[in-house]
Chain A
Amino acid sequence: MMAVTSYLALGAILFCVGLFGVLTKRNAVMVLFCIELMLNAANINLVAFSKYGLHANQTGQVFTLFTITVAAAEAAVGVAILFALYRNRNTVKADRYDTMKG
């Protein structure tokens, strides 16, 4: 049988790869997509504890279902904001959006 630590370690690896992508990618679309990867890493933890947790039951899967829904809404709004930014600044480079920089 598999231990819960393997799934948690997979989630940690995915979260760190996503965080590195968010910090280093310059294309704003890829930054959004790396945030989705981090949300998926959190979802893996929720589902793993719904099978191996102390009071394990299917509620963990319900919670993951809601997380996926909210993440889909976030992706749609994020891409829409990106289109508005692209129309105004004519670039998708995340480090060019520096209007509010002091």
Chain B
Amino acid sequence: MIQVSGEFIAFFVVSCFVIGGAVFMIHLVRVVHMVLALAFSLLGIAGIYVLLNAEFLAVVQVLIYTGAVSILMLFGIMLTRHRDREEEGTRLWHSVISFVGVGALFGILIHTIYHTPFAGRTAEVEHYSTARLGETVFKKYVIPFEAVSVLLLVALVGAVILAGKERNT
């Protein structure tokens, strides 16, 4: 039995936002509306991070996902043919088979989650801070940090080359 506390109410409301945005994304017809629903869902995930004492990650989530990635996807839709709608009914069997498969995976996941004995302990979250996160990144994980910066540079150059005009050879 779960006691009703402030954290539980906040979790309930925020997860309703997140799941509602995702389900709306599945059911909407126009692609621009889908992107808006999914941006709403990603904003709710930032709220989940706040509940889990990860404030810096919440800010990063808002900046990267609800800001940058959503706008990138909107660019992707606007620069291609965006007046198209998702046609329904043409691939009914495909949808049914996908739904059954995903439902089976969901059942297995939920069964596993609720039958695994977790430790039930909570970390000392009062020591969690952005300063400690930064110290961990720049002292213990400095090599992966540099590797990720190189990866970002390579991805940027690769994206420019891929999306740029093709030269006649």
Contacts and interface: CB of A to CB of B under 8 A. Distances in A.
Nearest to A22: B98
Given A47-B57, A70-B148, A70-B151, A83 B87 contact: no
Interface residues of B, number: 84
Contacts of B15: 6, 10
What is the predominant secondary structure among interface residues of chain A facing chain B? helix
Interface residues of A, number: 72
What is the predominant secondary structure among interface residues of chain B facing chain A? helix
Contact of A56 (B80, B121, B160, B166): B121
Contact of B114 (A5, A26, A74, A77): A5
A64 B48 CA distance: 13
A44 B45 contact: yes
Given A14-B18, A72-B64, 8 more contacts: A2-B8, A16-B102, A30-B34, A37-B22, A56-B122, A75-B69, A79-B72, A83-B76
